[in-house]
Chains A and B, each alone.
Chain A
Amino acid sequence: EIEQQCLPNYYDDS
């Protein structure tokens, strides 16, 4: 299983 970045690291969560 490859390690992936998470999306909230890139986009603001509101």
Chain B
Amino acid sequence: MFEAKLDRGIVLKKILDAINQLVNEASWECTSSGMSLQAMDTSHVSLVAVNLNGDGFSKFRCDRNMVLGMNLVNLSKILKCAGNDDKVTIKAADGDDKIKLIFEAPNEYEVSQYEIKLMNLDAEYLGIPETSYNVTVKMPAAKFQRICRDLNQIGDAVTISCTKSGVDFSATGDLGNGSVSLSQNSSFDKPEDNVTISMQEPLSQTFALKYLNQFTKATPLCSQVTLSLSPDVPLVVEYKIIEENEEDSKNEIGHIRYYLAPKIDD
């Protein structure tokens, strides 16, 4: 038996919005410690990994490890039927070929139930080792989204260059070129606007904006995004999954990490 309850349905909606255009089908691995998912896009250039901690749920029970393969587009459709403030419970019985989704409205007298068929999906699991990255940039997620969107007006790829003075995002195309430079800054009053750069050595790598723009669908999950880069390894773009509850307190309940291989010739 598997049962997981989140107090705010909007978190699950945001997670699905962040991944379902990149991957249509994927398997959730459910263990006593939480739920996780790893899937590559069809061209095997990018990968998304989601991790939800069991203790981030208001109720979490996993009697034995389960793999729940499903169509994420369909899951997303069903989740659109849940209110943002609904409590959402995912239930799966051992050996069953479907999962149940239960939405409880805040008014406490309205309960909706939906079922989704499970799928047997071929496992395509990549072993990603713990890596020490040369450059780590932590910046406002909305700023990163804006930069990727704006530079995609200029070209298909962005070159991320890190030096002691800061980080440059630049693109070149038929109409010309453009760049956005950020330097480290910190604000006590608005920590969500901070830019933090940690660098061992200067670095410059180029990535397809098509994928980065897909990654920024996770922007509503968290105010800050972390970019991790090293020569000859894929870029990692990480968003914490933050649940804001009624008292406006924020709990980190997991993360989404996107991996993107660099452009050829880099």
Contact = CB atoms under 8 A, between A and B. Distances in A.
Interface of A: 1-14
B220 to A, nearest CB: 26
Contact of A8 (B126, B233, B264): B126
Interface of B: 40, 43-47, 124-129, 156-157, 206, 208, 211, 233-234, 259, 261-265
Contacts of B44: 6-8
B157 A7 contact: no
Given A10-B233, A10-B234, A5 B126 contact: no
A3 B266 CA distance: 11
What does DSSP make chain A's interface, helix, strand, loop or mixed? Answer: loop
Contacts, number: 57
B208 to A, nearest CB: 5
Most buried by B among A3, A10, A12, A13: A10
What does DSSP make chain B's interface, helix, strand, loop or mixed? Answer: loop
Given A1-B156, A5-B45, A10 B261 contact: yes
Nearest to B45: A4
B45 A11 contact: no
Contacts of B156: 1-2
Contacts of A5: 45, 234, 261-264
Contacts of B40: 7
A14 B124 CA distance: 7
A13 to B, nearest CB: 5
Contacts of B211: 4
